A and B are shown apart, each in its own frame.
Chain A
Amino acid sequence: MRALGSGGTALPGLVVERVQRDAVSQLAQGLAATALITGTNGKTTTAAMLARILRADGRGVVHNRSGSNLMRGVAGALVEAATPLGKLPADCTAVLEADEAALPAIAEAAPPDVVVFTNLMRDQLDRYGEIESIALRWSEALSGFPRDASIALNVDDPLIASLAAHWSGACLRFGIEDPNVPPAPAGEITDAIWDPQTQDEFRYSRRYFAQLGRWHTESGAERPSPDLSADEVSHGGGSIDFTLRLPETSVRITLPAEGLYSVYNALAAAAAATALGISADTIRGGLESHEAAFGRQEEVVVEGRRVRILLGKNPSGMNQALRTLQRPGERHHLLILLNDGIADGTDVSWIWDVDWESQAAHCLSLTIGGRRAADMALRLEYAGFPRPRAAITNDVGAALSSALELVPESESLVILPTYTAMLDVRQRLGGMGASRLWDVAR
Chain B
Amino acid sequence: MTSSERPGLNVAVLYPDLLNLYGDRGNARAIERRCAAREIDVSVTGVDIGDDWSTDQADIVLVGGGQDREQRRVQADLQRRGDDLREYVDDNGVVLAVCGGFQLFGHHYRGWDGEIMEGIGIFDAVAAHPGPKIARCVGNVVALWEGETVVGFENHGGRTYLNEGQEALAEVVSGFGNNGGDGLEGAKVKNAYGTYLHGAVLPKNPLLADRLISLAMTRRYGPEAAELSPLDDSAALRAHAEALHAALSATESALGRRFA
Contact = CB atoms under 8 A, between A and B. Distances in A.
A201 to B, nearest CB: 10
Interface string A107-143: 0000000000000001001100111100000000000
A350 B139 CA distance: 14
B250 A351 contact: no
B241 A125 contact: no
Contact of B238 (A194, A349, A374, A379): A374
Nearest to B23: A352
A349 B235 CA distance: 16
Contact of A375 (B18, B33, B243): B243
Given A125-B22, A347-B153, A4 B259 contact: no
A348 B21 CA distance: 12
A194 B67 CA distance: 13
Chain B's interface size range is 35 or more
A34 B21 CA distance: 36
A385 to B, nearest CB: 11
A132 B69 contact: yes
The A contact surface, by secondary structure, is loop
Contact of B242 (A1, A125, A373): A373
A13 interface: yes
Interface stretch (B83-91, B185-193, B197-205): B197-205
Contacts of B135: 4, 6
Interface string A342-367: 00001111111100000000000000
B136 interface: yes
B248 to A, nearest CB: 14
A372 interface: yes
B25 interface: yes
Contacts, number: 105
Contact of B246 (A4, A8, A340, A392): A340
A6 B133 contact: yes
A381 interface: yes
Given A346-B140, A352-B200, A378-B204, A130 B239 contact: no
A126 B73 contact: no
A189 interface: yes
B29 A382 contact: yes
A162 B221 CA distance: 53
A373 B246 CA distance: 12
Contact of B153 (A193, A349, A381): A349
A346 B132 CA distance: 21
B134 A132 contact: no
B92 interface: no
A377 B67 contact: no
A426 interface: no
A146 interface: no
A349 to B, nearest CB: 4
B17 interface: yes
B138 interface: yes
B69 A189 contact: no
Contacts of B140: 346
B242 A374 contact: yes
A375 B242 contact: yes
B132 A122 contact: no
A169 interface: no
A4 B67 contact: no
A373 B70 CA distance: 32
A371 B246 contact: yes
Given A349-B198, A352-B23, 13 more contacts: A7-B133, A130-B68, A346-B138, A346-B140, A349-B22, A349-B23, A350-B23, A371-B246, A374-B238, A374-B241, A375-B242, A377-B239, A382-B33
18 contacts: A4-B136, A5-B133, A6-B133, A7-B134, A126-B155, A130-B67, A132-B69, A189-B20, A193-B70, A194-B73, A346-B153, A349-B26, A353-B20, A374-B235, A374-B242, A377-B235, A378-B204, A392-B238
Interface of B: 17-18, 20-26, 29-30, 33, 67-70, 73, 132-136, 138-140, 153, 155, 198-200, 203-204, 235-236, 238-239, 241-243, 246, 250, 259-260
Closest 8 CB pairs of A and B: A352-B23, A349-B23, A352-B26, A374-B242, A6-B135, A374-B238, A378-B239, A130-B67
